[in-house]
Structure 1
Amino acid sequence: MSNTEKFTGRVSAYVAYRERYDPEIVLPVLREWRVLEPDWLIADIGAGTGMLSDVFLASGNRVLAIEPNAEMRQACAQLHPANPNLSIIDGTAEATGLASASVDVVAVGRALHWFNLEATLPEFRRILKPNGWVIILAFGRSKEGREENIAYEDFLRPFTQDGEGTRVTYAVYQRLKDHFPGDEFHHKEIPGEMSLDWDALRGLTLSLSHAPLPGTPQFAPFEASLTRYFDRYQQDGRITLTTRYWINAARFNQAL
Protein backbone atom coordinates (compact mmCIF):
# COMPACT_ATOMS: atom_id res chain seq x y z
CA MET A 1 0.00 0.00 0.00
CA SER A 2 1.38 3.42 -0.94
CA ASN A 3 1.62 6.13 1.71
CA THR A 4 -1.11 8.01 -0.15
CA GLU A 5 -3.59 5.21 0.59
CA LYS A 6 -2.60 4.53 4.20
CA PHE A 7 -5.75 6.22 5.53
CA THR A 8 -8.25 4.92 3.00
CA GLY A 9 -11.02 3.26 5.00
CA ARG A 10 -10.01 5.09 8.20
CA VAL A 11 -11.36 8.56 7.55
CA SER A 12 -14.56 8.27 9.59
CA ALA A 13 -12.58 7.17 12.66
CA TYR A 14 -10.01 9.90 11.96
CA VAL A 15 -12.68 12.60 11.87
CA ALA A 16 -14.49 11.36 14.97
CA TYR A 17 -11.62 10.40 17.25
CA ARG A 18 -8.20 11.75 16.23
CA GLU A 19 -6.77 14.42 18.53
CA ARG A 20 -7.46 17.94 17.29
CA TYR A 21 -5.16 20.95 17.55
CA ASP A 22 -6.30 23.76 19.84
CA PRO A 23 -5.78 27.19 18.20
CA GLU A 24 -5.71 28.81 21.65
CA ILE A 25 -2.59 26.76 22.44
CA VAL A 26 -0.83 26.87 19.05
CA LEU A 27 -1.47 30.42 17.82
CA PRO A 28 0.04 32.28 20.81
CA VAL A 29 3.27 30.33 20.32
CA LEU A 30 3.47 31.13 16.60
CA ARG A 31 2.69 34.79 17.23
CA GLU A 32 5.30 35.02 19.95
CA TRP A 33 7.86 33.71 17.46
CA ARG A 34 6.55 36.15 14.81
CA VAL A 35 6.21 33.38 12.25
CA LEU A 36 2.55 34.01 11.38
CA GLU A 37 0.59 37.04 10.20
CA PRO A 38 -3.15 37.02 9.39
CA ASP A 39 -2.65 38.13 5.79
CA TRP A 40 -0.18 35.36 4.95
CA LEU A 41 -1.05 32.50 2.62
CA ILE A 42 -0.53 29.04 4.16
CA ALA A 43 0.12 25.76 2.35
CA ASP A 44 -0.97 22.91 4.63
CA ILE A 45 0.86 19.88 3.24
CA GLY A 46 -0.66 16.46 3.88
CA ALA A 47 -3.70 18.32 5.18
CA GLY A 48 -5.90 15.28 5.72
CA THR A 49 -9.32 16.36 6.96
CA GLY A 50 -8.10 19.90 7.65
CA MET A 51 -7.28 19.73 11.35
CA LEU A 52 -4.14 21.85 11.06
CA SER A 53 -5.81 24.07 8.46
CA ASP A 54 -8.39 24.90 11.14
CA VAL A 55 -5.69 26.48 13.29
CA PHE A 56 -4.70 28.88 10.52
CA LEU A 57 -8.30 29.54 9.52
CA ALA A 58 -8.92 30.58 13.14
CA SER A 59 -6.12 33.12 12.69
CA GLY A 60 -7.83 34.57 9.62
CA ASN A 61 -5.38 33.13 7.10
CA ARG A 62 -6.13 31.78 3.66
CA VAL A 63 -5.13 28.13 3.45
CA LEU A 64 -4.31 25.79 0.57
CA ALA A 65 -4.95 22.26 1.86
CA ILE A 66 -2.74 19.90 -0.16
CA GLU A 67 -3.87 16.27 0.24
CA PRO A 68 -3.32 13.24 -2.03
CA ASN A 69 -5.92 10.90 -0.49
CA ALA A 70 -9.35 11.22 -2.10
CA GLU A 71 -11.31 10.17 0.99
CA MET A 72 -9.44 12.69 3.11
CA ARG A 73 -10.11 15.48 0.60
CA GLN A 74 -13.80 14.60 0.52
CA ALA A 75 -14.01 14.69 4.32
CA CYS A 76 -12.15 18.00 4.40
CA ALA A 77 -14.65 19.48 1.94
CA GLN A 78 -17.61 18.20 3.96
CA LEU A 79 -16.19 19.66 7.17
CA HIS A 80 -15.54 23.07 5.59
CA PRO A 81 -18.55 23.77 3.34
CA ALA A 82 -18.21 26.93 1.28
CA ASN A 83 -15.31 28.33 3.32
CA PRO A 84 -13.84 31.05 1.08
CA ASN A 85 -10.51 30.96 2.93
CA LEU A 86 -9.86 27.26 2.26
CA SER A 87 -8.91 25.67 -1.06
CA ILE A 88 -8.54 21.89 -1.19
CA ILE A 89 -6.00 20.66 -3.74
CA ASP A 90 -5.02 17.18 -4.94
CA GLY A 91 -1.24 17.12 -4.53
CA THR A 92 1.63 15.56 -2.63
CA ALA A 93 4.43 16.93 -0.48
CA GLU A 94 6.87 16.09 -3.24
CA ALA A 95 4.73 17.66 -6.01
CA THR A 96 2.27 20.18 -4.59
CA GLY A 97 1.26 21.69 -7.92
CA LEU A 98 1.66 25.19 -6.46
CA ALA A 99 3.46 28.02 -8.22
CA SER A 100 7.01 28.92 -7.25
CA ALA A 101 7.40 31.55 -4.50
CA SER A 102 3.64 31.61 -3.96
CA VAL A 103 3.08 30.98 -0.23
CA ASP A 104 4.27 32.64 2.96
CA VAL A 105 4.20 29.51 5.14
CA VAL A 106 4.48 25.79 4.52
CA ALA A 107 2.81 23.91 7.36
CA VAL A 108 2.88 20.21 8.18
CA GLY A 109 0.95 18.41 10.91
CA ARG A 110 1.17 14.69 11.70
CA ALA A 111 2.29 13.80 8.19
CA LEU A 112 6.02 14.50 7.90
CA HIS A 113 6.98 10.85 8.43
CA TRP A 114 5.09 9.89 5.25
CA PHE A 115 7.13 12.24 3.03
CA ASN A 116 10.23 11.56 0.96
CA LEU A 117 12.26 14.40 2.43
CA GLU A 118 14.87 14.35 -0.34
CA ALA A 119 12.13 15.43 -2.74
CA THR A 120 9.91 17.27 -0.26
CA LEU A 121 12.33 19.86 1.11
CA PRO A 122 13.31 21.22 -2.34
CA GLU A 123 9.59 21.46 -3.14
CA PHE A 124 8.98 23.41 0.08
CA ARG A 125 11.83 25.75 -0.77
CA ARG A 126 10.44 26.20 -4.31
CA ILE A 127 6.90 27.18 -3.30
CA LEU A 128 7.91 29.43 -0.40
CA LYS A 129 8.38 33.14 -0.87
CA PRO A 130 11.82 34.45 0.12
CA ASN A 131 12.25 34.25 3.91
CA GLY A 132 9.07 32.20 4.22
CA TRP A 133 8.58 29.93 7.21
CA VAL A 134 8.14 26.18 7.58
CA ILE A 135 5.90 25.30 10.53
CA ILE A 136 5.81 21.67 11.66
CA LEU A 137 3.76 20.57 14.62
CA ALA A 138 2.11 17.55 16.12
CA PHE A 139 -0.20 16.83 19.01
CA GLY A 140 -1.19 13.55 20.58
CA ARG A 141 -0.14 10.87 23.00
CA SER A 142 3.47 10.76 24.07
CA LYS A 143 5.52 7.64 23.48
CA GLU A 144 6.69 7.90 27.08
CA GLY A 145 5.45 9.29 30.38
CA ARG A 146 2.78 7.29 32.14
CA GLU A 147 2.92 3.51 32.30
CA GLU A 148 -0.22 3.53 30.13
CA ASN A 149 1.68 5.31 27.34
CA ILE A 150 4.51 2.80 27.35
CA ALA A 151 2.10 -0.13 27.42
CA TYR A 152 0.14 1.33 24.50
CA GLU A 153 3.33 1.47 22.44
CA ASP A 154 3.98 -2.17 23.37
CA PHE A 155 0.45 -3.06 22.28
CA LEU A 156 0.95 -1.39 18.89
CA ARG A 157 4.38 -2.86 18.14
CA PRO A 158 3.27 -6.19 16.62
CA PHE A 159 1.02 -4.33 14.18
CA THR A 160 3.67 -1.86 12.95
CA GLN A 161 5.94 -2.50 9.99
CA ASP A 162 8.30 -5.38 10.79
CA GLY A 163 7.19 -5.11 14.44
CA GLU A 164 9.58 -2.18 14.96
CA GLY A 165 7.08 0.05 16.73
CA THR A 166 6.41 3.70 15.98
CA ARG A 167 9.79 5.05 17.09
CA VAL A 168 11.48 4.16 13.81
CA THR A 169 8.73 5.79 11.76
CA TYR A 170 8.70 8.94 13.88
CA ALA A 171 12.48 9.35 14.13
CA VAL A 172 12.36 12.01 11.39
CA TYR A 173 10.89 14.45 13.89
CA GLN A 174 13.87 14.10 16.20
CA ARG A 175 16.23 15.02 13.34
CA LEU A 176 14.24 18.00 12.15
CA LYS A 177 16.77 20.68 13.06
CA ASP A 178 19.40 18.96 10.90
CA HIS A 179 17.41 20.08 7.84
CA PHE A 180 17.35 23.73 8.95
CA PRO A 181 20.86 24.71 10.09
CA GLY A 182 21.28 28.18 11.48
CA ASP A 183 19.68 30.37 14.11
CA GLU A 184 16.16 30.70 12.66
CA PHE A 185 14.75 27.60 14.29
CA HIS A 186 12.14 27.63 17.06
CA HIS A 187 11.00 24.68 19.14
CA LYS A 188 8.51 24.28 21.97
CA GLU A 189 6.92 21.31 23.71
CA ILE A 190 3.76 21.55 25.82
CA PRO A 191 2.83 18.50 27.94
CA GLY A 192 -0.67 17.52 28.97
CA GLU A 193 -3.02 14.59 29.47
CA MET A 194 -6.10 13.15 27.82
CA SER A 195 -8.74 10.80 29.22
CA LEU A 196 -10.43 8.26 26.95
CA ASP A 197 -13.32 5.88 27.47
CA TRP A 198 -13.44 2.59 25.55
CA ASP A 199 -15.18 4.02 22.47
CA ALA A 200 -12.72 6.93 22.23
CA LEU A 201 -9.68 4.68 22.70
CA ARG A 202 -10.93 2.18 20.13
CA GLY A 203 -11.81 4.92 17.64
CA LEU A 204 -8.49 6.69 18.08
CA THR A 205 -6.62 3.42 17.60
CA LEU A 206 -8.60 2.53 14.48
CA SER A 207 -7.60 5.91 13.01
CA LEU A 208 -3.91 4.95 13.12
CA SER A 209 -2.28 3.81 9.90
CA HIS A 210 -0.95 0.57 11.40
CA ALA A 211 -4.29 -0.59 12.80
CA PRO A 212 -5.77 -3.57 10.91
CA LEU A 213 -9.06 -2.67 9.28
CA PRO A 214 -12.28 -4.47 10.29
CA GLY A 215 -12.81 -7.52 8.10
CA THR A 216 -9.10 -8.35 7.79
CA PRO A 217 -7.60 -11.48 9.41
CA GLN A 218 -5.58 -9.42 11.89
CA PHE A 219 -8.49 -7.38 13.18
CA ALA A 220 -9.88 -9.87 15.74
CA PRO A 221 -6.54 -10.41 17.55
CA PHE A 222 -5.86 -6.67 17.32
CA GLU A 223 -9.16 -5.77 18.99
CA ALA A 224 -8.71 -8.50 21.61
CA SER A 225 -5.28 -7.11 22.46
CA LEU A 226 -6.65 -3.58 22.72
CA THR A 227 -9.43 -4.83 25.00
CA ARG A 228 -6.88 -6.46 27.31
CA TYR A 229 -4.90 -3.23 27.40
CA PHE A 230 -7.99 -1.21 28.30
CA ASP A 231 -9.09 -3.65 30.99
CA ARG A 232 -5.60 -3.61 32.51
CA TYR A 233 -5.22 0.17 32.76
CA GLN A 234 -8.72 1.66 32.90
CA GLN A 235 -9.89 3.40 36.03
CA ASP A 236 -13.60 4.10 36.33
CA GLY A 237 -13.97 3.20 32.67
CA ARG A 238 -11.30 5.57 31.33
CA ILE A 239 -7.66 5.46 30.27
CA THR A 240 -5.40 8.46 30.97
CA LEU A 241 -2.52 9.12 28.57
CA THR A 242 0.22 11.73 28.63
CA THR A 243 0.07 14.07 25.61
CA ARG A 244 2.45 16.54 24.04
CA TYR A 245 2.29 19.48 21.68
CA TRP A 246 5.46 19.56 19.58
CA ILE A 247 5.71 22.89 17.74
CA ASN A 248 8.53 23.97 15.40
CA ALA A 249 9.16 26.84 13.00
CA ALA A 250 12.20 27.27 10.75
CA ARG A 251 13.54 29.08 7.72
CA PHE A 252 15.69 27.66 4.98
CA ASN A 253 19.20 29.00 4.61
CA GLN A 254 18.66 31.60 1.88
CA ALA A 255 22.30 31.36 0.78
CA LEU A 256 21.79 27.88 -0.62
Structure 2
Amino acid sequence: MSFDSTQRFTDRVADYVKYRPTYPRDVVDFLHGECGVAGDARVADIGAGTGISTKLFLDAGHPVVAVEPNQAMRTAADAWLGSAPSYRSVAGTAEATTLDAGSVDLVIAGQAFHWFNPVTVRDEFARILTTQGRVALFWNSRLLTGSVFLEEYEALLQRYGVGYREVADTYGDDATMVRWFGPRFVGSGCFPNAQQLDFDGLKGRLMSSSYAPKEGHPNHAPLLAALRNLFERTEQHGTIEFRYDTRVYVGRATG
Protein backbone atom coordinates (compact mmCIF):
# COMPACT_ATOMS: atom_id res chain seq x y z
CA MET A 1 0.00 0.00 0.00
CA SER A 2 1.64 3.25 -1.10
CA PHE A 3 1.81 6.41 0.95
CA ASP A 4 -0.67 8.11 -1.35
CA SER A 5 -3.26 5.37 -0.96
CA THR A 6 -2.95 5.27 2.83
CA GLN A 7 -3.64 8.99 3.07
CA ARG A 8 -6.22 9.16 0.29
CA PHE A 9 -9.29 9.39 2.55
CA THR A 10 -7.95 11.67 5.29
CA ASP A 11 -10.15 14.62 4.27
CA ARG A 12 -13.20 12.40 3.63
CA VAL A 13 -13.52 10.66 6.99
CA ALA A 14 -16.74 12.38 8.10
CA ASP A 15 -18.56 11.47 4.89
CA TYR A 16 -17.09 7.97 5.00
CA VAL A 17 -18.41 7.37 8.52
CA LYS A 18 -21.90 8.67 7.75
CA TYR A 19 -22.58 7.50 4.22
CA ARG A 20 -20.58 4.41 3.28
CA PRO A 21 -22.64 1.21 3.15
CA THR A 22 -22.05 -1.71 5.46
CA TYR A 23 -21.92 -5.32 4.27
CA PRO A 24 -24.70 -7.91 4.52
CA ARG A 25 -24.53 -10.49 7.32
CA ASP A 26 -24.47 -13.05 4.47
CA VAL A 27 -20.71 -12.45 4.27
CA VAL A 28 -20.16 -13.81 7.79
CA ASP A 29 -22.69 -16.62 7.34
CA PHE A 30 -20.92 -17.68 4.13
CA LEU A 31 -17.56 -17.83 5.89
CA HIS A 32 -19.00 -19.83 8.78
CA GLY A 33 -21.14 -22.17 6.73
CA GLU A 34 -19.28 -22.68 3.45
CA CYS A 35 -15.65 -21.88 4.24
CA GLY A 36 -14.99 -23.54 7.58
CA VAL A 37 -14.35 -20.41 9.62
CA ALA A 38 -15.06 -20.94 13.33
CA GLY A 39 -17.50 -18.64 15.08
CA ASP A 40 -14.81 -17.47 17.52
CA ALA A 41 -12.01 -17.11 14.97
CA ARG A 42 -9.55 -14.30 15.69
CA VAL A 43 -9.88 -11.73 12.91
CA ALA A 44 -7.45 -9.18 11.49
CA ASP A 45 -9.26 -6.51 9.47
CA ILE A 46 -6.62 -5.16 7.09
CA GLY A 47 -7.18 -1.63 5.83
CA ALA A 48 -10.03 -1.40 8.35
CA GLY A 49 -10.71 2.28 7.67
CA THR A 50 -13.43 3.66 9.93
CA GLY A 51 -14.43 0.18 11.12
CA ILE A 52 -17.38 -0.77 8.90
CA SER A 53 -16.14 -4.31 8.20
CA THR A 54 -14.70 -4.59 11.71
CA LYS A 55 -18.13 -3.99 13.24
CA LEU A 56 -19.71 -6.68 11.07
CA PHE A 57 -17.39 -9.29 12.61
CA LEU A 58 -17.53 -7.87 16.14
CA ASP A 59 -21.32 -8.11 15.98
CA ALA A 60 -20.96 -11.76 14.93
CA GLY A 61 -18.90 -12.51 18.05
CA HIS A 62 -15.36 -12.42 16.67
CA PRO A 63 -12.43 -10.71 18.39
CA VAL A 64 -11.04 -8.26 15.84
CA VAL A 65 -7.83 -6.29 15.50
CA ALA A 66 -8.23 -3.41 13.04
CA VAL A 67 -5.08 -2.68 11.05
CA GLU A 68 -5.22 0.80 9.54
CA PRO A 69 -2.39 3.17 8.50
CA ASN A 70 -4.49 6.33 8.23
CA GLN A 71 -4.64 8.00 11.64
CA ALA A 72 -7.85 9.95 10.97
CA MET A 73 -9.71 6.83 9.90
CA ARG A 74 -8.28 4.75 12.75
CA THR A 75 -9.31 7.43 15.25
CA ALA A 76 -12.85 7.34 13.87
CA ALA A 77 -12.93 3.55 14.24
CA ASP A 78 -11.64 3.78 17.81
CA ALA A 79 -14.29 6.34 18.72
CA TRP A 80 -17.02 4.10 17.30
CA LEU A 81 -15.84 0.68 18.44
CA GLY A 82 -13.33 1.29 21.19
CA SER A 83 -15.71 0.32 24.00
CA ALA A 84 -16.02 -3.25 22.67
CA PRO A 85 -13.78 -5.52 24.77
CA SER A 86 -12.90 -7.73 21.78
CA TYR A 87 -11.72 -4.79 19.65
CA ARG A 88 -8.29 -3.24 19.29
CA SER A 89 -6.54 -1.30 16.57
CA VAL A 90 -2.97 -0.93 15.39
CA ALA A 91 -1.19 1.43 13.04
CA GLY A 92 0.00 -0.82 10.25
CA THR A 93 -0.25 -1.43 6.54
CA ALA A 94 -1.38 -4.47 4.61
CA GLU A 95 2.22 -5.23 3.72
CA ALA A 96 3.55 -4.66 7.27
CA THR A 97 0.72 -5.24 9.73
CA THR A 98 2.90 -5.25 12.92
CA LEU A 99 0.93 -8.35 14.08
CA ASP A 100 2.67 -11.42 15.50
CA ALA A 101 3.24 -14.48 13.37
CA GLY A 102 0.41 -17.01 13.56
CA SER A 103 -1.69 -14.68 15.70
CA VAL A 104 -5.00 -14.67 13.76
CA ASP A 105 -7.33 -17.25 12.22
CA LEU A 106 -8.95 -15.05 9.59
CA VAL A 107 -7.66 -12.11 7.58
CA ILE A 108 -10.36 -9.89 6.09
CA ALA A 109 -10.22 -6.84 3.87
CA GLY A 110 -13.40 -4.95 3.05
CA GLN A 111 -13.29 -2.44 0.20
CA ALA A 112 -9.51 -2.27 0.57
CA PHE A 113 -7.69 -5.01 -1.34
CA HIS A 114 -7.35 -2.91 -4.49
CA TRP A 115 -5.08 -0.51 -2.58
CA PHE A 116 -2.66 -3.28 -1.53
CA ASN A 117 0.50 -4.57 -3.17
CA PRO A 118 -0.87 -7.92 -4.36
CA VAL A 119 2.51 -9.67 -4.21
CA THR A 120 3.78 -8.46 -0.84
CA VAL A 121 0.51 -8.95 1.03
CA ARG A 122 0.36 -12.64 0.14
CA ASP A 123 3.44 -13.30 2.27
CA GLU A 124 2.30 -11.01 5.08
CA PHE A 125 -1.12 -12.64 5.28
CA ALA A 126 0.47 -16.09 5.41
CA ARG A 127 2.85 -14.92 8.14
CA ILE A 128 0.18 -13.61 10.54
CA LEU A 129 -2.30 -16.45 9.96
CA THR A 130 -2.39 -19.81 11.67
CA THR A 131 -1.69 -22.85 9.49
CA GLN A 132 -5.39 -23.48 8.91
CA GLY A 133 -6.22 -19.78 8.58
CA ARG A 134 -8.34 -18.19 5.90
CA VAL A 135 -8.24 -14.96 3.88
CA ALA A 136 -11.56 -13.30 2.96
CA LEU A 137 -11.50 -10.36 0.56
CA PHE A 138 -14.79 -8.60 -0.09
CA TRP A 139 -16.20 -5.35 -1.38
CA ASN A 140 -19.42 -3.67 -2.41
CA SER A 141 -19.51 -3.54 -6.20
CA ARG A 142 -21.87 -0.76 -7.29
CA LEU A 143 -24.27 -1.89 -9.99
CA LEU A 144 -23.83 0.07 -13.20
CA THR A 145 -27.08 -0.93 -14.86
CA GLY A 146 -30.62 -1.87 -13.87
CA SER A 147 -32.16 1.57 -13.36
CA VAL A 148 -32.00 5.03 -14.91
CA PHE A 149 -30.34 6.30 -11.75
CA LEU A 150 -27.58 3.67 -11.72
CA GLU A 151 -26.77 4.14 -15.40
CA GLU A 152 -26.71 7.94 -15.31
CA TYR A 153 -24.75 8.01 -12.04
CA GLU A 154 -22.02 5.99 -13.73
CA ALA A 155 -22.01 8.43 -16.67
CA LEU A 156 -21.75 11.32 -14.21
CA LEU A 157 -18.66 9.76 -12.59
CA GLN A 158 -17.10 9.10 -15.97
CA ARG A 159 -17.53 12.77 -16.89
CA TYR A 160 -16.60 14.54 -13.64
CA GLY A 161 -14.64 12.06 -11.50
CA VAL A 162 -10.94 12.72 -10.90
CA GLY A 163 -9.01 9.55 -11.64
CA TYR A 164 -12.27 7.61 -11.56
CA ARG A 165 -11.40 5.12 -14.28
CA GLU A 166 -8.04 4.30 -12.68
CA VAL A 167 -9.74 3.46 -9.38
CA ALA A 168 -12.64 1.57 -10.96
CA ASP A 169 -10.28 -0.62 -12.94
CA THR A 170 -8.39 -1.78 -9.83
CA TYR A 171 -11.20 -3.98 -8.50
CA GLY A 172 -10.50 -7.60 -9.38
CA ASP A 173 -12.97 -9.72 -11.34
CA ASP A 174 -13.59 -13.40 -10.63
CA ALA A 175 -10.75 -14.62 -12.83
CA THR A 176 -8.27 -12.15 -11.34
CA MET A 177 -9.09 -13.16 -7.78
CA VAL A 178 -8.92 -16.88 -8.53
CA ARG A 179 -5.47 -16.31 -10.06
CA TRP A 180 -4.37 -14.30 -7.02
CA PHE A 181 -5.29 -17.09 -4.61
CA GLY A 182 -4.01 -19.80 -6.94
CA PRO A 183 -4.13 -23.29 -5.38
CA ARG A 184 -5.23 -21.75 -2.07
CA PHE A 185 -8.59 -20.63 -3.47
CA VAL A 186 -11.55 -21.95 -1.46
CA GLY A 187 -14.60 -20.27 -2.98
CA SER A 188 -16.55 -17.10 -3.67
CA GLY A 189 -19.97 -15.62 -3.00
CA CYS A 190 -22.09 -12.73 -4.21
CA PHE A 191 -24.84 -11.13 -2.13
CA PRO A 192 -27.25 -8.24 -2.84
CA ASN A 193 -26.84 -5.04 -0.85
CA ALA A 194 -28.44 -1.58 -1.10
CA GLN A 195 -28.79 1.84 0.48
CA GLN A 196 -31.86 4.07 0.40
CA LEU A 197 -30.52 7.63 0.20
CA ASP A 198 -32.07 11.07 0.27
CA PHE A 199 -30.18 13.83 -1.54
CA ASP A 200 -27.91 14.65 1.39
CA GLY A 201 -27.11 10.97 1.76
CA LEU A 202 -26.42 10.61 -1.95
CA LYS A 203 -24.15 13.65 -1.93
CA GLY A 204 -22.31 12.37 1.13
CA ARG A 205 -21.93 8.92 -0.43
CA LEU A 206 -20.43 10.50 -3.53
CA MET A 207 -18.08 12.77 -1.60
CA SER A 208 -16.79 9.84 0.46
CA SER A 209 -15.23 8.48 -2.75
CA SER A 210 -11.59 9.24 -3.43
CA TYR A 211 -12.31 10.29 -7.03
CA ALA A 212 -15.00 12.87 -6.16
CA PRO A 213 -13.55 16.36 -6.75
CA LYS A 214 -13.48 18.47 -3.59
CA GLU A 215 -14.68 22.06 -3.30
CA GLY A 216 -12.38 24.34 -5.26
CA HIS A 217 -11.81 21.85 -8.07
CA PRO A 218 -13.37 22.97 -11.38
CA ASN A 219 -15.41 19.76 -11.58
CA HIS A 220 -16.92 20.07 -8.09
CA ALA A 221 -19.80 22.48 -8.75
CA PRO A 222 -20.83 20.96 -12.11
CA LEU A 223 -20.77 17.50 -10.54
CA LEU A 224 -23.08 18.49 -7.69
CA ALA A 225 -25.43 20.29 -10.08
CA ALA A 226 -25.62 17.18 -12.26
CA LEU A 227 -26.16 15.03 -9.16
CA ARG A 228 -29.03 17.22 -7.99
CA ASN A 229 -30.63 17.06 -11.43
CA LEU A 230 -30.27 13.27 -11.54
CA PHE A 231 -31.75 12.87 -8.06
CA GLU A 232 -34.76 15.06 -8.83
CA ARG A 233 -35.51 13.10 -12.00
CA THR A 234 -35.19 9.63 -10.46
CA GLU A 235 -36.14 9.85 -6.76
CA GLN A 236 -39.18 8.02 -5.48
CA HIS A 237 -40.74 9.24 -2.23
CA GLY A 238 -37.66 11.33 -1.54
CA THR A 239 -34.98 8.67 -1.96
CA ILE A 240 -33.07 6.67 -4.54
CA GLU A 241 -31.84 3.09 -4.26
CA PHE A 242 -28.07 2.73 -4.45
CA ARG A 243 -27.56 -0.96 -5.30
CA TYR A 244 -24.52 -3.18 -4.91
CA ASP A 245 -23.37 -6.73 -5.24
CA THR A 246 -21.18 -7.65 -2.27
CA ARG A 247 -18.50 -9.94 -3.68
CA VAL A 248 -16.50 -12.26 -1.41
CA TYR A 249 -13.39 -14.28 -2.29
CA VAL A 250 -11.91 -16.77 0.18
CA GLY A 251 -8.69 -18.74 0.30
CA ARG A 252 -6.33 -20.59 2.61
CA ALA A 253 -3.25 -19.10 4.22
CA THR A 254 -1.01 -21.72 2.65
CA GLY A 255 -1.25 -24.61 0.23
Same fold flag (TM > 0.5): yes
Which aligned pairs between 1:173-184 and structure 2 lie closer than 5 A?
175-182=176-183, 184=185
Aligned to 1:129: 130
Q: Is the 8 A contact 1:66 1:90 kept in 2?
A: yes
Preserved CA contact (<8 Å) 1:146 1:242:
no
Residue 52 of structure 1: aligned partner = 53
State which drifts further: 69-78 or 180-189: 180-189
The residue aligned with 2:21 is: 19
Q: TM-score, normalised by structure 2?
A: 0.90
User: Is the partner of 2:137 in helix, strand or coil?
Assistant: strand
Q: Distance in 1 between matches of 2:50 and 2:174?
A: 21
Specify the SS of the correspondent of 1:237: coil
Match of 2:9 in 1: 7
Superposed CA deviations along residues 171-228 of structure 1, whole A, max 9, x for unmatched, are 4665111112237421111225433211111111111111122344432222122222
State the SS of the aligned residue for 2:23: coil
Query: C-alpha distance in 2, partners of 1:173/1:11?
Result: 30
Q: Does 1:72 align with 2:68?
A: no
Query: Does 2:81 correspond to 1:105?
Result: no
Report the residue type matching 1:114 in the other structure: W
Letter aligned with residue 16 of structure 2: Y
Matched residues, percent identical?
A: 34
Instruction: Give the 3 Å change call, closer, same or farther, for CA 173–114 of structure 1 in structure 2.
Output: farther
Alignment RMSD, CA only? 2.2
SS of the residue 1:149 aligns to: helix
Alignment of 1:1-256 (within 5 A): 2-23=4-25, 25-139=26-140, 141-160=142-161, 162=163, 164=165, 166-171=167-172, 175-182=176-183, 184-254=185-255
Q: Say which SS state the counterpart of residue 205 (structure 1) adopts.
A: helix
Give the gaps of 5 or more residues in structure 2. Answer: none
Distance 1:183 1:95 in 2: 21
Q: State TM-score, norm by structure 1.
A: 0.89
Deviation at 1:45?
A: 0.2
Once residues 162 and 12 of structure 1 are traced to their aligned partners in structure 2, the CA distance between those partners, rounded to angstroms, is 21
> Aligned in 2, Cα 1:188/1:231: closer, same or farther, shift over 3 Å?
same
Amino acid of the structure 1 residue aligned with 2:183: G
* Separation (CA, whole Å) in 1 of partners of 2:220 and 2:162: 16
SS class of match (2:244): strand
In 1, the alpha carbon distance for the partners of 2:160 and 2:150 equals 16
- The total of aligned residue pairs comes to 253
Question: Could you tell me whether the CA contact under 8 Å between 1:145 and 1:242 is conserved in 2?
Answer: no
Q: Which moved more, 1:59-68 or 1:159-168?
A: 159-168
CA distance in 2, matches of 1:52, 1:78: 15
Q: Which moved more, 1:132-141 or 1:215-224?
A: 215-224
Residue 88 of structure 1: how far off its partner (Å): 0.7
Q: Is the 8 A contact 1:181 1:253 kept in 2?
A: no
Q: Match of 2:236, SS?
A: coil
Describe the shift of the 1:148–1:214 C-alpha distance in structure 2 as closer, same or farther (beyond 3 A): same
